[in-house]
Chains A and B, each alone.
Chain A
Amino acid sequence: MITDMVNLKIIGLKSDGKDLLEHIRDLGVLHIEEEKEYYQVTEEPLIEKMRFLRAGVLGLLEDLGWKDLDNPDWGLAESLREIVPLNDIAVLEEIEKSLMEFKERLSEMTDEVRALEESTVALKQVHYIATHFHSFFSEEKKNEKVVSLWLVDSSKLDNLLKGLERTIRSLTPVVERPYLNHKAISQGENFLVLALSVNPESSSAVSKLMEEFGCISYLVPKTAMDELALESPNASQMELKWLPKKLAQAKTTLDAAKREWGPRLAALYVILDEELELLVLEKKFSGGGELFTLNGWVPLSALEDTVSSLKHRFGERILATWRAPEPQEWPKVPILLKNSKWAKPFELFLKLLPMPGYKSIDPTALIAIFFPFFAGCMIGDIGYGIVFGLIGLWMFKKYRNRSAIMMNVSQILMNIAILSILWGFLYGEFFGDLGHRLIHLKPLWVERTEGIIPVMAFTIALGMAHILLGLALGAYEGVRHNKKRHVYERLGTLFTLLGILLFIVNHMDLVNLNFMWAALVFLVFGLAFLIKGRNLAGLIETIGSIGNILSYIRIAAIGLSSAILAMVATKFVDVLGVSFFGILLAFSIHLLNLIIAIAGSVLHSARLHYVEFFGKFYEGVGNKYKPLKRRRGTAWKKP
């Protein structure tokens, strides 16, 4: 059922505007239409400031990496509401200033962590190079040689060394021995760090040659450790030991700041958001003059309480009028679904789709009937039904008052379980043919694996009924919303299908009556309506509907495969005897089949609803009922 709504108009004094809005927000029933405004700048400095501040707080929360936005510090929010006058621009500026300072502190902290991480990497590099070259360095320096470090392209190393030898030989006086010593270590995939040791006289010529070769003097790592590290690698080792501690400390501080400030900022965001909403509404509804006019939608059932509460609070100072929506207003009316207890869990299926339009059909109750029926027909096993029922019961207990969605799922599961058990009796299945073997369980109707044709025929008939129902609903919707073409199209398809059905019944001599004339009449009317509705395109719709009906054979097909798999499971005990291995195999196959059965039946049953059934009448054109409310509990979501 779609709840009836009334349009409520409240006129009061401008001076009462804010109180009125607050009162209505506390009642939490009035849905105010949202207008999509395209970047409109309000002249109100307070509103502007608050908009920026609200977004800034959200940005800060995101910078903090505070994921748990649904759990602000509600206690703090409550006390902030009491003590902070948010409608004072000076207060907002004060808050902004302190938040800016906080942001700066935060970025300092993050920078520190990053810097420490980077210097850990750099220092590791220094240490690696230092330990590698340390002995070379001290040895060569002892002999008064000049040592230099270079970054060299690995592929050029051989040529480079040959060139160096030639140069040094040409520079060295004939009486002396030319001196060149080197040591290398790879740096990345393509480069080497090369340490060269030469006599002081040849050092400048060597540098020149190296640069000509495109080598680069290795000055980095540019840490204070540079020279020191090469002299004594122990120092860098000490530093390396100490850095992780420092890093951990910085990270802890950052985390603590996150944990401390996350919920607080979230609370601030919540009250800013709430206050801003009210300010904007107040501005919107107080046009020129002394009056304040508020306009919105209230469920008919809540009207009386709302009006009396307003009268009680404001007395004669306000005027409240209400009226039912005109048909041309229907597209704007917010939609609130209301179903009895047994059907309510099935509202879950409409969550995937846009809401149905106002004054149209809420298919929840129909889903509640057909969905478990189809699923049960596919599973059709007493044993499996009992297992699903127990799982559903366990879930219900576990999620009671904790998760609305899981509660719905568990209730749907229990419905499926009951129908599976009923179908299980009809098919005579208890964990496949186990029931038959143990207690000679007999099918009340037919054994699925033997009587394939009756089950298939039944599912086609079921499909026919479901589709015809959908078409009838579609025609009704068309009449209701005054869409003639829809009516003709649906009725045309409906009649044509009925005509075909009667032909088949007649042809197969299923009943002892002659339907020939009736069939012809239906066909003629059906075709006439179809052509009136959409010319020949209507015929395609009819062919599509026949395809839709055939699609219901899947109920038989999936049921059959499930039944056979269950029998296979029991067969293992036959083959392997009542042994540990045999029972284990049987058990695992049953487990597999249980999973396939529930997944397959739910999925295909849902598909039959969404594709075949809804396609005939459902139009998602409604918008959801969202009353103006205080942000509490789950009443707000991350924007």
Chain B
Amino acid sequence: MEKALIGLGAALAVGIPALATAYAQAKIGSAGAATIAEKPETAAMMIILEALPETMVILGFVVAIMLILQFA
């Protein structure tokens, strides 16, 4: 039972940030695509903006791994 809860916790730690990141990236991505189509010189800036929310999942992943290694 305890293991199952730890597993669930780890899954949530990755899953929820993943959803949030996906939502943010979808919005930024469509705006970025439109902006690059109009002004190709903004490509680098757009890649950076698009990449920003990804940090959330990476941190979530770290938390998940820590959870599993520490408690499971």
Contacts and interface: CB of A to CB of B under 8 A. Distances in A.
| Any A–B CB pair closer than 8 Å | yes
Interface of A: 352-354, 452-453, 456, 547, 550-551, 553-554, 557, 607, 610-611, 614-615, 620
B51 interface: yes
B62 A553 contact: yes
Residue with the highest number of chain A CB atoms closer than 10 Å, among B43, B48, B51, B59:
B51
Contact of B61 (A354, A553, A620): A553
Given A354-B41, A453-B69, A557 B61 contact: yes
B44 interface: yes
B20 interface: no
Contact of A551 (B41, B44, B58, B69): B58
B55 interface: yes
Q: Is the interface of A mostly helix, strand, loop or mixed?
A: helix
Given A352-B44, A620-B44, A452 B69 contact: yes
A587 to B, nearest CB: 28
A611 B41 contact: no
Contacts of B12: none
Q: Is the interface of B mostly helix, strand, loop or mixed?
A: helix
A531 to B, nearest CB: 26
Top 7 nearest A-B pairs by Cβ distance? A611-B51, A353-B44, A352-B43, A610-B47, A557-B61, A611-B48, A607-B51
Contacts of A614: 44
B48 A551 contact: no
B34 interface: no
A116 B65 CA distance: 71
A456 B47 contact: no
A610 B55 contact: no
Contacts, number: 40
Interface of B: 41, 43-44, 47-48, 51, 54-55, 58-59, 61-62, 65, 69
Contacts of A352: 43-44, 47
Contacts of B59: 550
Given A452-B65, A453-B69, A611-B51, A550 B58 contact: yes
Contacts of B55: 547, 550-551
Given A352-B43, A353-B43, A453-B69, A615 B48 contact: yes
Nearest to A354: B41
Nearest to A353: B44
Contacts of A551: 54-55, 58
Contact of B48 (A354, A453, A554, A610): A610
Contacts of B65: 452, 456
B12 to A, nearest CB: 17
A298 B61 CA distance: 52
B61 to A, nearest CB: 5
A551 B61 CA distance: 11
B65 to A, nearest CB: 6
A551 B59 CA distance: 8
Contacts of A453: 69
Nearest to B43: A352
A452 B62 CA distance: 11
A351 to B, nearest CB: 9
Nearest to A550: B58
A614 B43 CA distance: 13
A548 to B, nearest CB: 9
Given A354-B41, A452-B65, A611 B58 contact: no
A488 to B, nearest CB: 23
Residue with the highest number of chain A CB atoms closer than 10 Å, among B41, B54, B58:
B58
A353 B44 CA distance: 6
A543 to B, nearest CB: 12
Contacts of A615: 48
A557 B58 contact: yes
A456 B62 CA distance: 9
Nearest to A552: B58
Contacts of B69: 452-453
A610 B44 CA distance: 7
Contacts of A353: 43-44
Nearest to A548: B55
Contacts of A354: 41, 44
Contacts of B44: 352-354, 610, 614, 620
B37 to A, nearest CB: 14
Contacts of B48: 610-611, 615
Nearest to A460: B62
Contacts of A456: 62, 65
8 contacts: A452-B65, A550-B59, A553-B58, A553-B62, A554-B58, A610-B51, A611-B51, A620-B44
A607 B47 contact: yes
Nearest to B14: A557
A610 B49 CA distance: 11
A620 B40 CA distance: 13
